[in-house]
Amino acid sequence: MLFLYILCAVIALFSYWWYKKPDKYPPGPKGLPLLGVLPYLSAFPEREFGAWSKKYGPILSVSMGWQDCVVLNDYDVIIETLVKQSDEFHERPYVRFFLMLTSNGVVFTPGGQKWRSHRRFGVRAIRSFGGSKGVMEKKINEEMLHCTQQLQKLEGKPFQIQDILTNAVSNVFCNIAFGRRYNYDDAKFQSLIACMIEQFEIAGHWKTNAMMFVPFLCDIPPFSWHVQKSLEIIQPMRDMITELYEEHNLTYDAKDIRDIMDGYLQSFQSDEKEFMLKDIQDFFMDMFISGTDTSACTLRWAVLCVMLHPDVQERMQEEIDNIIGKYGTPSLSQREKMPYCCAVLHEVYRFKTLAPLSLPRCVCKDVTVRGYIIPQGTRIMTNLWQVHNDDTYWTNPDLFVPERHLDKNGNFTNSRHVMPFGAGARVCMGEQLARAEIWLFLIAIIQRFRISVDPDDPDPPSLSNGSNGLVYIPDAYNMIIHSR
């Protein structure tokens, strides 16, 4: 009987400790001891968070396993925190699994001087080696010709576009970063892409999600096997980056900086070669993985949206013909003359939020937001999906309607409430490159081809078919193209 009393007391004390929150902590659902709200989440947790925000408010607290998290569900509160208090909200939480893969990169590195240096260099490098004097646009258009030539070979036949788009976008990055373009059938290039795709799949796996919130699982099978598999998958990518680094090191000339790798050698020369090589591997792996497959996935969603809305496709083609012509070369400078095409792409960003919860942040010290106190170390999740689907701002947000981004005179309105690249100190540093790639590739495809659903497909494509993890990826779909 005494044991039963003690057990009840321990359970009561544990429950009190679990449910007790600091004073002025943001409200939210209680969840279950040890598990928090995890049992109540679907494969699309951003939707549950959005629904709970209607009850508890735009700043929502939840327990995810052992981790206390705060979810930002509103545009204004995201700006108020991530932008106006960027110094307090710029860090990443310590996620052991991701840091075992890339500890000195940019994306998952918690913060500190190494992150700041890499971040500053990455932003400057994309601008210098990609955006200046039309170099970036030129390289994208060069690759676009190879892409459309591959598509031309498939005219009239059902096919899936994801490999071609991934090859094209990856080559743009390789050209800007390493001064190297690969044939689509090059074995090393395909190995690099296979690593990237498999790593994306692992990032969205349930074991990865579990290790994000319960770090000690990294040491326990089958999770430890998952970690080992991830390390093995990225090794060919490390080897390829090492090979490219060694080639650049042999031909490096400080007076002739050819690409981002040369720029890195110029900015981070070090006598500790082994230390520097690890930094180079982590930096370029982060740049390649985060900046390539995301753009390719956005393009896949865009092609699917246009294919399933023939009226949208027809109106885009009419505008393209009027501004560029059927055989002209698309240019970034033409965007201001093409309001409808801009509206279509803006709607794709809103309608298919690629990173629904973005990547987590954490606060580096106690902060106060709208009267709530968020303690140091608390994880912050940014619910971009809710911002893009907030029915107080968007009418019928579950519908694909490009016209919502046009004013009464047909001019494009660039709504701040569409924020696919995040906000604040961790906003995607490759945003300029990504927007340019997605625009130029999409316009070129719609300019040259009519795209349609395969009428004989037993499983026709749907805008509802996709897998959700760190990134919302469309399922593979069949399509048919015909030259215009």
Segment-wise mean pLDDT, segments of 10 residues, the chain, 484 residues: 54 50 86 86 94 96 88 96 93 85 84 88 82 76 94 95 94 92 90 81 78 81 86 88 92 90 84 69 88 91 98 98 93 95 98 94 93 93 97 96 96 95 91 94 97 92 89 94 94
pLDDT at residue 452 in the model: 96
**Rounded CA separation 277/178 (Å):** 15
- Cβ proximity of 429 and 106 under 8 Å: yes
**Rounded CA separation 411/343 (Å):** 9
pLDDT at residue 1 in the model: 60
**Rounded CA separation 351/276 (Å):** 41
- Cβ proximity of 125 and 266 under 8 Å: no
DSSP E strands in 410-458: the ranges are 449-452
pLDDT at residue 358 in the model: 92
What are the b/e assignments for 187-206, b being 16+ CB within 10 Å? eebbebbebbbebbebbbee
Q: How many residues does the chain have?
A: 484
Amino acid identity, position 299: L
Q: What is the largest CA-CA distance in the chain?
A: 87
Task: Tell me the sheet residues that pair with 467.
Answer: 473
Query: How many secondary structure helices (H) and strands (E) does the chain include?
Result: 17, 10
151, 311, 399 from 412: Cα distances, Å: 30, 18, 19
**Rounded CA separation 368/88 (Å):** 10
- Cβ proximity of 161 and 453 under 8 Å: no
**Rounded CA separation 236/281 (Å):** 11
pLDDT at residue 16 in the model: 46
Amino acid identity, position 356: P
pLDDT at residue 384 in the model: 98
Closest of 440, 399, 388, 411 to residue 308, by C-alpha: 399
Closest of 41, 95, 38, 96 to residue 64, by C-alpha: 38
pLDDT at residue 3 in the model: 54
Q: What does pTM read for this prediction?
A: 0.92
pLDDT at residue 193 in the model: 86
**Rounded CA separation 38/40 (Å):** 5
Q: Is 474 helix (H, G, I), strand (E, B) or coil?
A: strand
Cis peptide bond N-terminal to 222, omega within 30: yes
- Cβ proximity of 107 and 290 under 8 Å: yes
Strands 379-382 and 67-72: parallel
Closest of 251, 254, 203 to residue 229, by C-alpha: 203
Residue matched to tokens 């795709």: 197
Domains, in order of start, for the chain: 2-483 (1.10.630.10)
